[in-house]
Amino acid sequence: MIRDPKILSAKLGLTFNNPDLFLMALTHRSAGAKNNERLEFLGDSILGFVIAEVLYDKFPGAPEGVLSRLRANLVNQGSLAELAREHRFGDYLLLGSGELKSGGFRRESILSDALEAVIGALYLDQGIDVCKQWIKGLFQQKVQALSLDNWQKDPKTQLQELMQSKKIDLPEYTLLTMSGLPHEQTFKVKCTIPLLKDPCIGTGVSRKRAEQAAAEKILQLLEKKDQ
């Protein structure tokens, strides 16, 4: 059963003057002619601009090429889908019967498009200043985790090097579940390290992506622990 969009709006800290815009942002093209494709187009451009500005301010000495790659690291499909999953977007998406049967609510492209569509809807509803502040809050942890020393290294590599530097056992990755159709599978992986009592769980469209997601969560927890 699709949950009430108002619940998601509240979780995201958003109150729309025009709730229909938010509903449209969650409507996939498979559900009808009034869908989120145009909002996604708008949100994609706004997101790219806002993140570019954030990175420009955070790394004043970085050349254009590095800034472009940092931006791509933050706003790629996998990164956006991860944020959408954290807020359980899949529970609120309006999909056609075909997409529902094939598990479209788990698909990275649909999740990431919906998140961009919400950005487009927020811009139309409340303007660029409100939109910028919300995007900055949404990406705050991901932006804080970036540095010019580690931006090119994936989370698994970063975590492994951190463990090696502390001379402790390397992370252990355990496959928990693998579900979905052969061409649309979802993997769930557990990552365990000696520094944390509890493991972290990551999901992805491949085992590698799931391991990367779990490693990234571990890194974020360790960063908070050191603060």
We report the CATH number of the domain holding residue 208 as 3.30.160.20
Cα 111 to Cα 70: distance, rounded to the nearest angstrom:
21
Q: What is the pLDDT of residue 73?
A: 81
Band of pLDDT at residue 1, cut at 50, 70 and 90: low
Q: What is the pLDDT of residues 132-155, one digit of tens each?
A: 999 999 999 999 888 887 666 788
Q: Is 113 annotated in the active site?
A: no
Do 93 and 70 share a structural domain?
yes
Mean pLDDT of the chain: 90
- End position of a domain, from candidates 118, 144, 170: 144
Q: Is 99 annotated in the active site?
A: no
What b/e readout covers 115-142, taking b as 16+ CB neighbours within 10 angstroms? bbbbbbbbbbbbeeeebbebbeebbeeb
Task: Pick 109 or 192 by higher pLDDT.
Answer: 192
Cα 65 to Cα 187: distance, rounded to the nearest angstrom:
33
Q: Please choose, from the candidates 81, 57, 55, the residue with its C-alpha nearest in 3D space to the C-alpha of residue 68.
A: 55
Residue 217 lies in a domain: yes
192 neighbors 217 (Cβ within 8 angstroms): no
Residue type, position 13, single letter? G
Cβ-based neighbours of 202, under 8 Å, separated by 6 or more: 188, 189, 191, 209, 210, 211, 212, 213, 214, 215, 216, 217
Q: What is the pLDDT of residue 226?
A: 63
Which member of 40, 99, 116, 125 is catalytic? 116
Do 213 and 138 share a structural domain?
no
Band of pLDDT at residue 220, cut at 50, 70 and 90: confident
Band of pLDDT at residue 170, cut at 50, 70 and 90: very high
Number of domain units in the chain: 2
Do 135 and 39 share a structural domain?
yes
Report the percentage of the chain scoring pLDDT > 70.
96
Q: What is the pLDDT of residues 22-42, one digit of tens each?
A: 999 999 999 989 999 999 999
- Residue 104, pLDDT above cutoff 80: no
Which member of 44, 82, 108, 113 is catalytic? 44
